Amino acid sequence: MTTVLDSIIDGVREDLAARQEQVPLATIRQQAATQPPALDALQALQTGRTDTAGVRIIAEVKRSSPSKGALAQIADPGALAAAYQAGGASVISVLTEPRRFGGSLDDLAAVRAAVDIPVLRKDFMVEEYQFHEARAYGADLVLLIVAALDDAQLRDFLALTHDLGMNALVEAHTEEEIERAVAVGARIVGVNVRNLKTLDVDVNHYSAMARHLPPELVQVAESGVTGPDQVLDYARQGADAVLVGEALVKHGNPTEAVRSFRAASLAKEAQ
Ligand SMILES: O=C(O)c1ccccc1NCC(=O)[C@H](O)[C@H](O)COP(=O)(O)O
């Protein structure tokens, strides 16, 4: 059966083939090599569970989604990202897939130019070219979706990511996917409570999966945040960082939204 994830990836491959015709791999590699070194996303996220600064927020620039359609008119993604940073975001996530998410590499470049914190290229990474492209457009961190890759690809792409000086958010949904992420040496593991095959979102899924996450890894709770209470809940389950899209792009005041999410997690120890 063809899943939503399969059909997204088919589109990604078609678009990628067109881009590779325009800009060959050798050229994009050269462009990547001219970028300043990637910022350290691992450091930006890794003490979210243990220090007193509260859970780290990965704030997303998300125009639309397969599950919800259009979410927000984002006229200036750089300005939105700067507003997130002003609220205390630790990392900015930029969806660059155009067909279902309305994103682009131009969005990534605009965000890179507007902030001085790490930037995640959030896309469906299935070929080497995309990793050089991510770096060429200023990404510090890329997404590796375990469900979209076999073990050899996961291992090779993680190594390539590190060779390029970037970090990877390795995204799992099931216990088996967490085991695969750990086995290839992931340093930052996300549990997406959205099932990318069915699009079902179940925020309680995080607590069911969190117990399988090795404590030494950076742990990220992804999706399903509607307000500060959910951020606090993920923080209580041990998340170092929480990735938020829809709730932030729909909020009228993105700086205040990030600030309130961050502040909510500080209540973790209070009860
Ligand atoms: O958002 C979707 O509908 C979606 C569908 C298929 C694959 C990926 C999808 N979203 C990517 C994400 O995981 C989210 O953008 C991210 O975790 C933020 O989620 P949310 O805060 O629930 O917008």
Q: What is the CATH number of the domain that holds 264?
A: 3.20.20.70
pTM: 0.97
Find the 193 Cα to ligand 1 centroid distance in Å: 9
Instruction: State the average pLDDT over residues 118-146.
Output: 98
Q: Measured between alpha carbons, how far is 36 from 18 in angstroms, rounded to an integer?
A: 27
245 CA → ligand 1 middle, Å:
7
Nearest-atom number in ligand 1 for the CA of 248 is: 21
pLDDT average, residue stretch 177-193: 98
Q: Inform me whether the pLDDT recorded for 176 exceeds 90.
A: yes
Q: What is the mean pLDDT of the chain?
A: 96
Given a contact cutoff of 8 angstroms between Cβ atoms, the answer to whether 15 and 100 are in contact is: no
- The H or E element that residue 172 is part of is strand 167-172
At residue 251, the pLDDT reads 96
Residue 174: per-residue pLDDT: 98
Element (H, E) at 241: strand 241-244
Among protein residues, the one with the nearest Cα to ligand 1's atom 12 is: 223
Residue 232 clears pLDDT 70, i.e. is over it = yes
Contact 194 CB / ligand 1 (< 6 Å): yes
Closest residue by CA, ligand 1 atom 2 = 65
Domain span at residue 162 reads 4-269
Judged against a pLDDT cut of 80, whether residue 225 lies above it is answered with yes
pLDDT confidence bin for 266, thresholds 50/70/90: confident
pLDDT at 50: 86
Q: Give how many domains the chain has, as a whole number.
A: 1
Mean pLDDT of the region 199-227: 97
Residue of 177, 222, 246, 265 marked catalytic: 222
Cα separations in angstroms, 46 against 197, 212, 239, 249, 254? 29, 18, 10, 25, 23
**How far apart, in whole angstroms, are the C-alpha atoms of residue 271 and residue 250?**
30
Q: Is the pLDDT of residue 49 over 90?
A: no
Q: What are the backbone dihedrals phi and psi of residue 17, each rounded to the nearest 5 degrees, phi first?
A: -60, -40
- Any idea which of 40-54, 119-133, 154-168 has the lowest mean pLDDT? 40-54
Ligand 1 site-directed mutation target among 126, 194, 249, most atoms within 8 Å of CB: 194
Is 68 known to be catalytic?
no
- The answer to whether 258 and 57 have CB atoms below 8 angstroms apart is yes
Active site residue 60: yes
Token code pair at residue 69: 């359609």
Asked if 222 and 244 touch (Cβ cutoff 8 Å), the reply is no
| 222 is an active site residue | yes
Mean pLDDT computed over 164-168? 98
DSSP structure string for 123-167: S---SHHHHHHHHHTT-SEEEEEGGGS-HHHHHHHHHHHHHTT-E
Q: Could you report the predicted ipTM of this complex, rounded to two decimals?
A: 0.98
52 pLDDT band, cuts 50/70/90, is confident
User: Which residues, 6+ apart, have CB-to-CB distance to 253 below 8 Å?
Assistant: none
By the 10 Å C-beta count (0-12 exposed, 13-18 middle, 19+ buried), 26 is classed as exposed
